[in-house]
Structure 1
Amino acid sequence: MILTDSVPVSGVRRTADGYLVAEARVARTGIQDYLGTEVDPDNQHGLRDKPIVRVYRPESSVFHKDAMQSYAYRPMTNGHPGGDGVNSQNWKDLAIGQTGGDVVRDGQFVKVPLVLMDAKAIADFDAGKRELSMGYGAEVVFQDGTTDDGEHYDCYLGPMKMNHLSLEHRARGGEQLRIGDNKQPTPKGGHDMADSLRTVIVDGLSVQTTDQGAQAIDKLTKQLADAGVNIKTLTDAHAAALASKDADLAKRDAEIDSLKAKQLSDADIDKRVTARADLISKAKSIADADYTGKTDADIRKAVVVAKLGDAAVAGKADAYIDARFEILVEDAAKNPANDPFRQHMIHQDSKPGENPAEAARAKMLADFNSTQPAK
């Protein structure tokens, strides 16, 4: 994890080559404030959403032997780079200078020499960009406690390992970490806050706040934007679900309308029964058989087969079979004495005064109605 820190610079001078040479305090002991997202980005310790996390750096962290060695010959950058900091792959693109090797303890601080070698970075320094922020790695021990001075902290650091030193506008550590060369004295009784504040735009309004406050505002603004995206996503999903249900309802309505259209009226049923009875009557006049459950086409085919044999219908279309059936009907009409259905109707056991043909038609009508769905 690469964290950032800020420190002051003193003893600035220029070389004949135009470089800027100085000494800087690059680390100190004590407590400094960080955003929860910096210290616990994955929220494994419940600190990610905490606006300010107090991180303690004991002497064992700042002045550890390995830590002191890491402060020497570190690259300098103009603003903190993203990702994992500076390495051999990106050094050429990011470095604007470096720290020296004469690392010393200065009270509760660590002081190192440095040199700015990039013209743009030196121009930024001259324009007022004069604070330094250290990018470093360290083990974060997530255990709260209290310092010897009675200050509470949320976690503390193991030995620090410096990665780079960045030129910045604002220091995390506050006024004491500002470059002191051109610092004007604070009026007696006053509070010089201008150099420790920055201006941010919140909903179209200019607001002055500290660097930590600006970072907190940026975080909250992002959370609000993310919430807006989430709401839109949910709204779109809800609208899509409603549209899908509306489509299903429309499909079912169409199916219902189709079923209603297919339902037969009483008049249609009468026509169907009459036509069916007429067809069966014709069929029986040619070949007396049981045609119950057969379709009209099946009845015509059965009659042709009964009269002419299977060869008469083999491979023939329905239109051909219908035509052959009608020819057989015409032939039967010319010779009614040979109509087996007629003979059957004449010889059947019937009640006196009852019309056998009308009785057969009535029975067929009743059978047909019993197969129709109830309305």
Structure 2
Amino acid sequence: MIAFDHLTLDARKTTKEGFLAVRARAARTGLYDYAGSEVDPDNAHGLRDKAVVKVYRSGDQVFDRASIASFIGKPITNDHPATAVTADNWREHARGTVMGAVRDGEYVSFDLMLTDAAAIAAVKSGKRELSNGYQTTLDFTPGTTPEGHAYDVKQTAIVGNHIALVDRGRAGPECRIADAIAVCDANPAAVAALQEGNAVKKITLDGLQVDLSDADAVSAAIAKLQDKASTAEAALADANAKLSTAAGERAALEKQLADANTKLEPASLDKLVADRAALIVKAKAVKADIVTDGKTDADIRKEVVTAKLGDAAAGMDDAAISGAFAVLSADVKKATPEIHNLPSVTATDAQSAEAKAFADSVANLNAWRKAKA
């Protein structure tokens, strides 16, 4: 883990070259407050979502000779770089050098030399807090300090990487650059900021709580929701199409039912009978041997026209057939009886073919009345 702690610049001195030499007493032992996302970013130990994690730094680790010596010669940066400082990015980040590091009571003091004009100007303008950047191994076994304070994590094997000049250090303004040595105890305001600002936010996606910091989980959840939305949209479109089809079918059936009801009314039935009778009379007048039983009006007209016109009728549609039939039967006397007032008609040998056909038609069509009675 790369860790960042906070300390101060003290006893400032400007060299003849304009460099700023300072003494910083920091790196104390004891408990430090970290956000859970700092110490357990992958949530491997279940601490990522904790606003504040207590990290213990024991004296044997802080004052380890190798650990103290590891800071000497390391760069000073203006704010923390995104990654550890290496030979590849030193020129980009270095603004000075750690000249020395020694134990000083319960602290470690650093001798720092700032050699960059912009960084020096920032210090003189009030940017006076520092933050250690170092590599450390974390022991996630909870425990209790010798003073009886509980901790969540313990730091071991501390190796310095850089010291950063920052606007606000972990320990707060008590650890600013001053004329005297500052004590770098935790600042309640800094702890409150951690509690309020560093907790990992969660949102609910597809019924599950997802950490916003977990990009893969968020992306997967969103993709799943998008897939569900696409499926739902397709199902909705299909349902709408079926609904539209059903609505059309219903409208057609209602129209057919209305038409059927209209045709079943007595007046409509009488008209149908009269029209049918007139058609049969005309058909038999033009083609005496035609059989009309079981045939539609259109079939009767077509048979008559075909009989008279032959091949000329082959390509005619219904409208043309109707027109031709009207011309062929124009001279036939129109049957104009009120069907329900017609007397019983009996065909005799003296009747004309037209009258006989009409009588037969009327007899057939009046059959429904007898059946009904």
TM superposition score category, shorter chain reference: 0.5 to 0.7
Structure 1 residues 288 and 35, CA gap change in structure 2 (3 angstroms): same
2:357 to 327, 342, 349: 342
1:210 to 174, 183, 189: 189
The CA distance in 2 between the partners of 1:303 and 1:329, in whole Å, is 10
Aligned to 1:288: 291
Aligned to 2:275: 278
- Where do residues 287-366 of structure 1 align in structure 2 (5 Å cutoff)? 287-289=290-292, 291=294, 301=302, 304=305, 312-314=313-315, 316-330=316-330, 342=357, 345=360, 356-360=363-367
Q: CA RMSD in A?
A: 5.1
Deviation at 1:356, TM superposition (A): 1.5
Q: Which moved more, 1:7-16 or 1:58-67?
A: 58-67
Counterpart residue identity of residue 145, structure 1: G
The CA distance in 1 between the partners of 2:62 and 2:174, in whole Å, is 18
Deviation at 1:341, TM superposition (A): 9.2
Deviation at 1:14, TM superposition (A): 1.0
- Where do residues 228-239 of structure 1 align in structure 2 (5 Å cutoff)? none
Structure 1 residues 343 and 262, CA gap change in structure 2 (3 angstroms): closer
Deviation at 1:328, TM superposition (A): 4.7
2:144 to 118, 133, 146: 146
1:50 aligns with 2:47: no
Aligned to 1:201: none
Normalised by the size of structure 2, how large is the TM-score? 0.62
1:264 aligns with 2:258: yes
Calculate percent identity across the aligned residue pairs: 36
1:100 to 98, 101, 109: 98
Aligned to 1:373: none
Deviation at 1:101, TM superposition (A): 5.3
Deviation at 1:278, TM superposition (A): 2.9
Aligned to 1:189: none
Structure 1 residues 290 and 268, CA gap change in structure 2 (3 angstroms): closer
Deviation at 1:50, TM superposition (A): 2.3
8 Å CA contact 2:175–2:182 kept in 1: the answer is: no
The CA distance in 1 between the partners of 2:192 and 2:157, in whole Å, is 28
Aligned to 1:233: none
The CA distance in 1 between the partners of 2:109 and 2:133, in whole Å, is 15
Aligned to 1:200: none
Deviation at 1:48, TM superposition (A): 2.8
Structure 1 residues 298 and 179, CA gap change in structure 2 (3 angstroms): farther
Aligned to 2:126: 128
1:167 aligns with 2:165: yes
Q: Partner of 1:264: helix, strand, or coil? A: helix
Deviation at 1:8, TM superposition (A): 2.8
1:84 aligns with 2:87: no
Count of equivalent residues: 318
- Where do residues 59-78 of structure 1 align in structure 2 (5 Å cutoff)? 59=59, 61-62=61-62, 67-68=67-68, 70-78=70-78
Counterpart residue identity of residue 32, structure 1: Y
Aligned to 2:224: none
Q: Which moved more, 1:31-40 or 1:2-11?
A: 2-11
Structure 1 residues 49 and 338, CA gap change in structure 2 (3 angstroms): same
Aligned to 1:32: 32
8 Å CA contact 2:56–2:155 kept in 1: the answer is: yes
Structure 1 residues 183 and 362, CA gap change in structure 2 (3 angstroms): farther
The CA distance in 1 between the partners of 2:299 and 2:2, in whole Å, is 87
Structure 1 residues 7 and 359, CA gap change in structure 2 (3 angstroms): same
Deviation at 1:344, TM superposition (A): 9.0
Deviation at 1:301, TM superposition (A): 4.9
Q: Give 1 or 2 for the bigger CA radius of gyration.
A: 2
Deviation at 1:77, TM superposition (A): 2.9
The CA distance in 2 between the partners of 1:149 and 1:210, in whole Å, is 23
The CA distance in 1 between the partners of 2:107 and 2:182, in whole Å, is 23
Deviation at 1:178, TM superposition (A): 4.0
Q: Partner of 2:119: helix, strand, or coil? A: helix
8 Å CA contact 1:9–1:179 kept in 2: the answer is: yes
Deviation at 1:130, TM superposition (A): 1.6
Q: Partner of 1:210: helix, strand, or coil? A: helix
8 Å CA contact 1:26–1:134 kept in 2: the answer is: no
Deviation at 1:163, TM superposition (A): 3.9
The CA distance in 2 between the partners of 1:340 and 1:163, in whole Å, is 123
8 Å CA contact 1:304–1:313 kept in 2: the answer is: no
Structure 1 residues 143 and 341, CA gap change in structure 2 (3 angstroms): farther
Q: Which runs of 5+ in 2 are unaligned?
A: 213-228, 335-350
8 Å CA contact 2:75–2:98 kept in 1: the answer is: no
Deviation at 1:210, TM superposition (A): 0.7
The CA distance in 1 between the partners of 2:277 and 2:77, in whole Å, is 102
